[in-house]
Amino acid sequence: MSEQIINEQALLTSATILQLSGEASEQRRATRLLADLRAGEPVADLLNETKPSGPGRFGAGLEDSAILLAVYSALQAFWKVYLEKLVAKGAEKASNLTAALLDKLFKQDLEGSERDKTISEIKKCLEVEAHKRKISQAKLRKLLEAVDKLGKK
């Protein structure tokens, strides 16, 4: 499975969750990173740009930077597992999966009988990454509420 597709889907879904959770600045950063990734920038370089560094970078600023990294890392883990399951179900051969097809299948799962299971898997990944990056419970709660809104009109 192409890491590029996993990274794109993780950033795309991150931007949606961040927007739904009210994290507008982090949503804009995720959208910008997605555009840079699609332009050929290596994801590791892009993520290094989001890490806080230098004097004066503390408090809420650290948490804001960690939020995008936590959401992205969680969704990257989710997409890897999700794609493995799609392939195992015989949905498509891994080499034939495209971002457009993934988006379509993901939306079908969010709108169908797999919704609860899919949302639960995303939340588990997000909770693990939020804990690793010391995201506050209040911020995590907002992100988890945003995950509940995925795919709803």
How confident is the model at residue 95, as a pLDDT?
55
How many domains does the chain contain in total? 1
Range of the domain at 69: 3-149
pLDDT at 97 (0 to 100): 65
Distance of CA 101 to the CA centre of its chain: 17
What is the chain's pLDDT, residue by residue, as a tens digit (153 residues)? 578 889 999 999 999 999 999 999 999 999 999 999 899 888 776 666 555 444 443 344 555 678 999 999 999 999 999 988 877 776 555 556 677 778 888 999 999 999 999 999 999 999 999 999 999 999 999 999 999 999 886
Residue 151 vs residues 104, 107, 115: alpha-carbon distances, Å: 11, 6, 9
> What pLDDT, on a 0 to 100 scale, did the predictor assign at position 58?
39
